[in-house]
Structure 1
């Protein structure tokens, strides 16, 4: 304890301290090298008193301005000199001093100082802070804070706030900045407040550490206890002859893996995982992950499948009972079964059924499975954006599972099902990957015999699976994926085919679903035709089925109300039951008009008719195109105009018709996008009709791409377009001569009702489409007065 009566000389040798603070009432050793002994020797000559002042680490002690202004006077109590030079100096802190000025700078700093004695700090606040600090010290000691016993005893005897603050600061683990701030704080009460705050933070930290250590110890103790109890339970069960549930579960899983007939490479993986599972604690999360993986391996049908029905006649009968017509699809399935009966190891084909909605693509998959005696699986790809839906998630992810392909095959318990991938043209993609790329391996017969799901991480043979995909259009399907599939098109049904489908399939189905199986209800042929032609406009039969179901529901309602049950639905009954007709034959219901030609278009929902309207007005040689036309269709319109301008004389059109005029071409239903080159012929016909003032026949529809020389090039979707023309009441269809081979796809009854004319040039089109052929008029004028140049079309 510093004796306040001790006289401190006004000038002291100064020793610089780096990264260290010395407080009053502090005893500590100082290691001094040989070159630093000069101020120590001087202090020994001056009553053993030495000033210790901190400096910044980057500064030197050559000048007074590098020193902190506040330091501590220390008494040298002992000096232990080393043989090699230097010494260990024991020091005792006495009191704070302030540096005033330096009288000497070399070889050591000799400075005048002012002693800073603590003022009296007694009072209620000081006593309360003193007691709080002492209480916190006891709490810190209780949490394991190392503190010598004699120090704690000494602190209990100190009542001066400044002295207590300095002593506590010595034994607290403080950084240099906090120590420097406490040394510079001259007010004892403020210094004790700072110590209180720092000590409070230290105690809080010790409390958190204690709670964490206590929790860890508790958990370790719990695990050890569970382990001991589990071992004791095993021993008791062995003594009693009872089976261990954990061991019984592992034995059951091992038997399941043996019964699964796994391939060799899969057996190695399964054995390794099973050995790992035996070493895992059943309460560990890894145990359930490994067990689920092994259960997935054991549930897969690695070598088990259904036996194919190789009776071709029976398969033909099943397909005919389920679907009407669809000859191409049925023929392909029968071919596959025929080859399979000759060659047992046949890979499954990849079929893609393309057609408008409602033509039976999805239901055809079930029919194929029934005909072949196989399990049927269907998943919808519409809107799928995650590649993991196909390939699965890796087991490193929480909640990982196999992809839909492996999941569905596992549920089917057969490795050769008929697997339908519906809506393959509606797959999406985003940051999670591209599912269509993942399908490349699945739908490749040369690769899918070793399909690797990310979850399984072992190859699985998909070559025996018969994959069937469906799509409305093939354009959105990536080219590599299209290349792996055999495309079979379902163009849609004619009215006669729809009639047979309603009678054979839809009507019995709806009678059963609406509870009329005990009330025989028949539809006259005219009634069915009326429903088809006046209440629906589609390539498939979904709308027809809905109308038939509506009639069945109304009949069921009449029966429940006590009315006499109907037995026959005639054409006159349709309107009262379904309301006013909703569709009209567009071509048959309109009159022939100038500048309006009937064209044919192909859409995702089948064929459709369009009307090309042309109008002429005073203007400045501008071609106006409206109706939401695409780039290709706009180019077709420009080509048609160029052809008409180049051959105006042959059609009896004035040569300067475009000089002072604007031509406007419009395709109604302007909100629906339209594109493609097949409207070129219809656009040219509308222009010729407008400019010659010859009406175009409304019941004559046409399709074909037009060239600048007047040739008509082939187009696609012939059957769909002819069916659309037939539904609209068109009696004559003009088709490019190059499409003659496609006429055999059209049913004979359609060819009997619709006149199909093959055309090579625009001359043939005009002769059929316009009421008064302008070519005939021009040729007669040429024979009387050969003023015009010869016809370049010949």
Structure 2
């Protein structure tokens, strides 16, 4: 029977719970809307409508989050608990469906269409009730989770609709299935649905029972096997455990024969196998010998990849993957050419030295590809234990071979390209000096007999092409540096960076960010602006990050708007990358007195360095600030002594050194600075401050000074010149003895700079001072 309830009724949403008509149960209510709905019900006729949320995780449900069909209930009791929640006792009256939903701000109310069960029975209904009861009784016997008293209570119910609801409430159903029963208004349909559900639950219980019996039988069989194995083990122990290992020993013997080991290694392996055969399985030594044999068998002893000696193909691969870096490519192609002629050349040991981000690691990977060899990389950063290189002796618990042998196992061939990354980051402590252990690895005269503490037998590394990388060569011990052929990768010019960004980085980042070729275009002038105003580095890592940032913003714009294609130009670049971070152009805007631009070399490439000198009345004290190292302080003292010795020629005030305090400062005081190449820069700044003559803003300089004014050579000229070019300087003063290094500077940079070699400080002052 259907009828419409005229008055609105407060709504109480339920989470993970469903109430059927005639059910009496307790509820704990804590949500603000629900509490207000309860209070409203108590003020009226104690009626409240209960319906269930579709998603119980929602804290503040709206109309769409609730099932339309629920139960109209009457609040019997209400008790406020100390924790602020309210416990209520409700009794279900009958089914009801929401017609209209009202938001009363503090609670929700609904107008309802109610459905009352017609509990009259006919023959078909009676038959369905009996079937349902019979199925329910069988279910209880299988489940054993519902007591017999519950069945007797259900059996006494005469109303078919109520019986179906009560049985459905006892079944362990998921919420959607319970809701289906609640929404089934027709009694016969409801009885059929519950019968179907009980039948399915019975089938599941029967299946669970069968699975349980199968698992029990399996466990009994496993226990029986365990018992028999233990008996067999005891018998084998009495027999010396020989018979139990026969199959495994035969397998090991076959693998040793097929491993291609040298004769002395093979003899050692067979001796260890004989020991393994005699040692009981339960002995700790058994597993040690087994692991040792596994390592000997898995190492490559003769397996080698055939070198692809096609020089033209190798050159194409290197040029495709890397722009510039001509010296490294030339060295690899020379190795290939000699290998093709001799067919037997020991692997070279190359050290790619340069600042971060210039492509040292990826270049090693490209070399392996061009040779057609396997590639193995191990990082030596933070390694401070000699056993990391040479391995542990087998007497130690958990002993393992060193990283070199592990790398060879991973490669699976005797001639891989082996990259030892960050060789300058190794250190030493009480556990030994790993850099000393590397001497044998990287010595072409010794590494054909490399000895690992774990393997003990010598291993031939002479066919391996070792490539090492380093940022700072000064931190590599001299003997280790002597064993490597050092190839310097100082950094990229502006033109090279633009090429790399255009031909390599943009395509890579677009692919990683899901952009197609037509969706993003970056103009050449935009690439140039990114290099000039958003990066200041020797490598291209920051450049890659900036391009990735452009790709991310492009992806966001394409996804969130109608624009399908973006073009990045110099004008709209700030929309993608924000305000310019660096100033491109001259290091100084105008000629200044007492401020000279020096060129420095750091582990991350070259950099420009401002050196400032100021005078103040005093007693001739020389103050040095800017966190300078000992070498740089000595350079400042030497420069000051030189200026004093030239006081007459420079027409300086008599006894100036007794009248003024001189303050030499190098900005960025938090950064430590040291090195023997700032002498002429400090002397020029002192001269300018004392004479009042400005220093030309476009001039940068590098070189050490002696007390007599001679200019001494320095290192890192290429890196320093690149940094000067990045800063926009146009004239570089360098020591005459460094003229031989000018050819290393890229031609595009040489064409933009005026390089002036000098041998005396007088020549420096003629160029640097504005008059």
The TM-score, its normalising length taken from structure 1, stands at: 0.67
Displacement of 1:520 after TM fit?
Answer: 4.6
**Whole-Å separation in 2 of the counterparts to 1:729 and 1:275:** 74
Match of residue 606 from structure 1: 605
Q: Aligned pair 1:505/2:466, yes or no?
A: no
Match of residue 147 from structure 1: none
Q: Aligned pair 1:379/2:378, yes or no?
A: yes
Change (3 A) 1:552 1:453: same
Change (3 A) 1:306 1:245: farther
Change (3 A) 1:628 1:225: same
**Whole-Å separation in 2 of the counterparts to 1:225 and 1:285:** 21
Match of residue 658 from structure 1: 657
Match of residue 550 from structure 1: 549
Q: Aligned pair 1:339/2:338, yes or no?
A: yes
**Whole-Å separation in 1 of the counterparts to 2:386 and 2:503:** 41
Change (3 A) 1:244 1:501: farther
**Whole-Å separation in 2 of the counterparts to 1:580 and 1:358:** 24
**Whole-Å separation in 2 of the counterparts to 1:691 and 1:286:** 80
Match of residue 767 from structure 1: 766
Q: Aligned pair 1:717/2:728, yes or no?
A: no
Displacement of 1:591 after TM fit?
Answer: 2.1
Q: CA offsets per residue over residues 322-376 of structure 1, 9 Å max, x none?
A: 1111111111111111111111221111111110111111111101100111111
Change (3 A) 1:586 1:639: farther
Task: Give the 3-state SS of the residue equivalent to 1:602 in structure 2.
Answer: strand
Q: Is the Cα–Cα contact under 8 Å of residues 415 and 462 in structure 1 kept in the other structure?
A: yes
Task: Give the 3-state SS of the residue equivalent to 2:302 in structure 1.
Answer: coil
Task: Give the 3-state SS of the residue equivalent to 1:742 in structure 2.
Answer: helix
Q: CA offsets per residue over residues 459-492 of structure 1, 9 Å max, x none?
A: 1100001111111111111111111111111111
Match of residue 58 from structure 2: none
**Whole-Å separation in 2 of the counterparts to 1:234 and 1:771:** 96
Match of residue 594 from structure 1: 593
Q: CA offsets per residue over residues 400-451 of structure 1, 9 Å max, x none?
A: 1111111111111101101111111110111211111111111111111111
Change (3 A) 1:755 1:287: same
**Whole-Å separation in 2 of the counterparts to 1:520 and 1:425:** 43
Q: Aligned pair 1:632/2:639, yes or no?
A: no
Q: Is the Cα–Cα contact under 8 Å of residues 375 and 418 in structure 2 kept in the other structure?
A: yes
**Whole-Å separation in 1 of the counterparts to 2:483 and 2:423:** 13
Task: Give the 3-state SS of the residue equivalent to 1:258 in structure 2.
Answer: helix
Match of residue 435 from structure 2: 436
Displacement of 1:232 after TM fit?
Answer: 11
Q: Is the Cα–Cα contact under 8 Å of residues 645 and 655 in structure 1 kept in the other structure?
A: no
1:569-588 to 2 correspondence within 5 Å? 569-585=568-584, 587-588=586-587
Displacement of 1:281 after TM fit?
Answer: 2.2
**Whole-Å separation in 1 of the counterparts to 2:520 and 2:322:** 22
Match of residue 559 from structure 2: 560
1:270-349 to 2 correspondence within 5 Å? 270-349=269-348
Displacement of 1:556 after TM fit?
Answer: 1.1
Q: Aligned pair 1:263/2:242, yes or no?
A: no
Change (3 A) 1:224 1:733: closer
Match of residue 419 from structure 1: 418
**Whole-Å separation in 2 of the counterparts to 1:602 and 1:231:** 70
Change (3 A) 1:518 1:634: closer
Match of residue 644 from structure 2: 645
Q: CA offsets per residue over residues 556-588 of structure 1, 9 Å max, x none?
A: 111222331224211112101111111113735
Q: Is the Cα–Cα contact under 8 Å of residues 555 and 565 in structure 1 kept in the other structure?
A: no
Displacement of 1:246 after TM fit?
Answer: 3.3
Displacement of 1:760 after TM fit?
Answer: 2.4
Displacement of 1:277 after TM fit?
Answer: 1.2
Change (3 A) 1:754 1:418: same
Q: Aligned pair 1:674/2:673, yes or no?
A: yes
Task: Give the 3-state SS of the residue equivalent to 1:298 in structure 2.
Answer: helix
**Whole-Å separation in 1 of the counterparts to 2:688 and 2:327:** 41
**Whole-Å separation in 2 of the counterparts to 1:258 and 1:532:** 60
Q: Aligned pair 1:735/2:734, yes or no?
A: yes
Match of residue 534 from structure 2: 535
**Whole-Å separation in 2 of the counterparts to 1:498 and 1:736:** 28
1:337-486 to 2 correspondence within 5 Å? 337-486=336-485
Q: Is the Cα–Cα contact under 8 Å of residues 424 and 475 in structure 2 kept in the other structure?
A: yes
Q: Is the Cα–Cα contact under 8 Å of residues 714 and 739 in structure 1 kept in the other structure?
A: yes
Displacement of 1:662 after TM fit?
Answer: 1.1
**Whole-Å separation in 1 of the counterparts to 2:288 and 2:701:** 65
**Whole-Å separation in 1 of the counterparts to 2:372 and 2:233:** 54
Task: Give the 3-state SS of the residue equivalent to 1:636 in structure 2.
Answer: helix
Task: Give the 3-state SS of the residue equivalent to 1:325 in structure 2.
Answer: coil
Match of residue 210 from structure 1: none
Displacement of 1:752 after TM fit?
Answer: 2.0
Task: Give the 3-state SS of the residue equivalent to 2:300 in structure 1.
Answer: coil
Change (3 A) 1:695 1:255: same
Task: Give the 3-state SS of the residue equivalent to 2:409 in structure 1.
Answer: helix
**Whole-Å separation in 1 of the counterparts to 2:739 and 2:245:** 74
Displacement of 1:736 after TM fit?
Answer: 1.4
Displacement of 1:751 after TM fit?
Answer: 1.8
CA RMSD of aligned residues (A): 2.2
Q: Is the Cα–Cα contact under 8 Å of residues 710 and 762 in structure 1 kept in the other structure?
A: yes
Match of residue 622 from structure 1: 621
Task: Give the 3-state SS of the residue equivalent to 1:650 in structure 2.
Answer: coil
The TM-score, its normalising length taken from structure 2, stands at: 0.69
Displacement of 1:399 after TM fit?
Answer: 1.2
How many residues align structurally? 545
**Whole-Å separation in 1 of the counterparts to 2:237 and 2:646:** 102
Q: Is the Cα–Cα contact under 8 Å of residues 612 and 666 in structure 1 kept in the other structure?
A: yes
Change (3 A) 1:512 1:227: closer
Match of residue 146 from structure 2: none
Q: Is the Cα–Cα contact under 8 Å of residues 623 and 663 in structure 1 kept in the other structure?
A: yes
**Whole-Å separation in 2 of the counterparts to 1:492 and 1:324:** 12
Displacement of 1:230 after TM fit?
Answer: 4.1
Q: CA offsets per residue over residues 224-249 of structure 1, 9 Å max, x none?
A: 955554489999xxxxxxx9773222
Range that drifts further, 482-491 or 519-528: 519-528
Q: CA offsets per residue over residues 180-211 of structure 1, 9 Å max, x none?
A: xxxxxxxxxxxxxxxxxxxxxxxxxxxxxxxx
**Whole-Å separation in 2 of the counterparts to 1:257 and 1:490:** 45
Task: Give the 3-state SS of the residue equivalent to 2:571 in structure 1.
Answer: helix
Displacement of 1:294 after TM fit?
Answer: 0.8
1:21-40 to 2 correspondence within 5 Å? none
**Whole-Å separation in 2 of the counterparts to 1:644 and 1:462:** 57
Task: Give the 3-state SS of the residue equivalent to 1:351 in structure 2.
Answer: strand
Q: Aligned pair 1:254/2:253, yes or no?
A: yes
Task: Give the 3-state SS of the residue equivalent to 2:468 in structure 1.
Answer: strand
Task: Give the 3-state SS of the residue equivalent to 2:476 in structure 1.
Answer: coil
Unpaired runs of 5+ in structure 2?
1-227
**Whole-Å separation in 1 of the counterparts to 2:743 and 2:700:** 19
Q: Is the Cα–Cα contact under 8 Å of residues 700 and 732 in structure 1 kept in the other structure?
A: yes
Q: Is the Cα–Cα contact under 8 Å of residues 706 and 713 in structure 1 kept in the other structure?
A: yes
Task: Give the 3-state SS of the residue equivalent to 1:531 in structure 2.
Answer: helix
Displacement of 1:633 after TM fit?
Answer: 1.1
**Whole-Å separation in 2 of the counterparts to 1:425 and 1:764:** 38
Match of residue 153 from structure 1: none
**Whole-Å separation in 1 of the counterparts to 2:244 and 2:278:** 15
Task: Give the 3-state SS of the residue equivalent to 1:352 in structure 2.
Answer: strand
